[in-house]
Structure 1
Amino acid sequence: MKITANQYAKTLFELIDNKPSQDVEKIIYNFVRVVKKNKQIKLFPGILERLSFIWNNKYKIAEAKIISAEELNEKDEKKIKDYLKEKYKVEKVVISKEIDKNIIGGFIIKTGDDIVDQSISGKIKKLRENLIK
């Protein structure tokens, strides 16, 4: 019977949760060896995705990507983090940032499948779509 990415992720989570970092390193090394021995290396992207989901769920963490035309200042970044904490009922928000001049101004927040588009290019696109209707 083949083990699924979800089963591997749950097992790895149980093995590493609340362990000291020196133990985690050894556990992960052995875990990778087992997955490789089982000829299921191709499952690693799914394992890591599920592990991240399980970890974030337990520790009430949301991951978000913010795309903006220019670097956000600390005040705006804090507002976005506070908004996301409230929206997703989490204690911590981990943000990755990307600069994209094509959005002209404003920002786009991507959290999982959820997208909040407050960009100028997004507003222009919506306006264009409404005018065409």
Structure 2
Amino acid sequence: MSNQAVANRYAVALFQLAQSKGTLEQTGEELALIHSVLTSTPELLKAVSHPKVTLAKKQELIRNSFSDHISKDVFNTLRFLLDRQRFDIVPELHKAYTKLHHDLLNIAEATVFSAKPLTDEEIKQVELVFAPKAGKSRLIATNKVDEELVGGIKIRIGDRIYDGSIKGQLNRLERNLLAGNR
């Protein structure tokens, strides 16, 4: 079974547990913290995934790293993943949990590509305009600079792309000219 499929199963179980206890936000924040720590210190993930490190040492390392900062449920999930030698799926688990939480709240994530960095106000404006177009109550947008765009913006929401870039307009114009359309 793929790591993503396994991560989805664990995410659903943790999500249902958090939902029943009313700790959806807190659990999401704790998973984000763990993901952030693992991203900033890849040595930790290597250590807990290394086959020559004993399970007791791995559990001690996780306990020392996280037990004071996360709830018992999230900590037990981490211990369970260690026991099952599946700790490497934690980043995918965080992503799957976040998607479940956003689906429940009718939130979508978007990536806004622009030729130069957008201001916070411009990003908020994109979120307000495109949330209804995506059929969502709220949009969370992140900006990525793509200097090839020349100008304008391109927005990716899930599998949909809204292309208002100059590069996109030039490409459409070229296709129309080559096809003989005016």
Q: Give me the TM-score of the superposition, normalised by structure 2.
A: 0.61
Q: What do residues 19-72 of structure 1 show as CA deviations (whole Å, max 9, x unaligned)? A: 2749x5223232122122112234444433321221001112111111111233
Counterpart AA for 1:58? L
Q: Which residue of 1 aligns with 2:141?
A: 95
Show CA shifts across 1:49-100 (max 9, x none): 3212210011121111111112334554343212222123333221111122
Overall identity of the aligned pairs, in %? 25
Separation of aligned partners in 2, 1:87 and 1:121? 22
2:62 is the alignment partner of 1:62:
no
Question: What does residue 5 of structure 1 align with?
Answer: 7
SS in 2 for 1:4: helix
Alignment equivalent of 1:30, drawn from 76, 98, 115: 76
What stretches of structure 1 of length at least 5 have no aligned partner? Answer: none
Corresponding residue to 1:15 among 9, 14, 17? 17
Aligned length: 130
The answer as to 2:146 corresponding to 1:108 is: no
Which is higher, the Rg of structure 1 or of structure 2? 2
Partner of 1:131: 177
RMSD after superposition: 2.4
Using the alignment, how far apart are the partners of 1:44 and 1:10 within structure 2?
A: 13
SS at match of 2:151: coil
Question: Bigger CA drift: 37-46 or 90-99?
Answer: 37-46
